[in-house]
């Protein structure tokens, strides 16, 4: 049965569906020797589909990893600036066909999912599916009630509205610690939001995605998700998708 190419690529664990669309647009995908176009379909069991010259095949086993990303690592499979990537933290046998789900910037640490299941990645990162992501945030100064309300209502940054789902003040001396929950996933969202209200971020760590918590996992360490954890997260995302 024929399916859209981005879905075939995602199912094969090459990339998320959105990234697969980019690969197609860049002319890096071929079907039976011809350059593919966005919207093209193929049968993964009958047609020859290549990405960057490599034939892709349906996955036999899906892998789901929870990593505690340390500072100083970029969230990509490779880096043209030769910086360390999160993939460097995995054992050699773990790396094949895996990719990060979404991104944490180089100066952000914490919970990062890595998988070879493109459909799963698309479900978690799709902006229309509001899976909660929880962060611990240290900012300069102490945001007052007015500043926090602005962030909850939404602030305009570069013509885009950025908002938090909830913000809890955890404690402060000269600088405040807060727990921030997002249901969006825009680039550098928390940093840009707090910069807008005059409280630049000093430290940022993601501690929870949906039902998954980082717990006491040490920086740079990772573990496989259980089947129950994966199914719970998929179920949670699917419920949000139906809202």
Tokens at 79, concatenated: 């880096």
pTM: 0.78
Q: How far apart are alpha carbons 58 and 11 in whole angstroms?
A: 7
Per-residue pLDDT of the chain (243 residues; tens, 9 = 90+): 888 898 888 877 777 788 889 999 999 999 999 999 988 999 888 889 999 888 887 766 889 999 999 999 999 888 888 899 999 999 875 666 788 998 899 999 999 999 988 888 888 888 788 889 999 999 999 999 999 999 999 999 988 999 999 999 998 888 999 999 999 878 899 999 999 999 999 999 999 999 999 999 999 999 999 999 999 998 888 776 656
Catalytic residue among 43, 47, 79, 105: 105
Provide the b/e sequence for 30-62 (b: ≥16 CB within 10 Å): bbeeeebeeebebebeeeebebeeeebeeeeeb
Are 37 and 24 in contact by the 8 Å Cβ rule? The answer is yes
Ramachandran category for residue 193: left, alpha or beta (phi over 0 → left; psi -120 to 50 → alpha): alpha
For residue 213, what pLDDT is reported?
A: 96
The verdict on whether 144 is a catalytic residue reads: no
Q: How far apart are alpha carbons 42 and 31 in whole angstroms?
A: 7
**Domains, the chain, ranges and CATH?**
3-55 (3.10.290.10), 64-127+211-242 (3.30.70.580), 133-209 (3.30.2350.10)
């Amino acid at each position: 049965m024929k399916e859209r190419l981005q879905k075939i690529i995602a199912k094969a664990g090459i990339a998320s569906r959105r990234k697969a669309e980019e690969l197609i647009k860049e002319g890096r995908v071929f079907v039976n020797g011809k350059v593919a176009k966005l919207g093209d379909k193929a049968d993964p069991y009958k047609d020859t589909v290549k990405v960057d010259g490599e034939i892709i095949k349906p996955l036999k086993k899906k892998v789901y990893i929870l990593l505690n990303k340390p500072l100083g690592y970029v969230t990509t499979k490779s880096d043209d600036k030769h910086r360390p990537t999160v993939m460097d933290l995995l054992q050699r046998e773990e790396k094949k066909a895996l990719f990060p789900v979404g991104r944490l910037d180089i100066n952000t640490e914490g919970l990062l999912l890595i998988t070879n299941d493109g459909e799963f990645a698309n479900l978690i990162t799709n902006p229309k599916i509001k899976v909660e992501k929880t962060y611990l945030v240290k900012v300069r100064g102490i945001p007052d009630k007015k500043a926090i309300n602005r962030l909850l209502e939404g602030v305009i940054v570069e013509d885009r509205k950025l908002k938090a789902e909830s913000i809890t003040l955890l404690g402060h001396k000269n600088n405040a610690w807060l727990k921030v929950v997002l249901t969006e996933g825009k680039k550098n969202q928390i940093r840009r939001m707090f910069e807008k209200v005059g409280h630049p971020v000093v430290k940022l760590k993601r501690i929870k995605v949906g039902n998954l918590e980082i717990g006491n996992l040490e920086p740079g360490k990772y573990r496989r998700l259980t089947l129950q954890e994966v199914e719970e997260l998929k179920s949670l995302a699917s419920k949000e998708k139906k809202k």
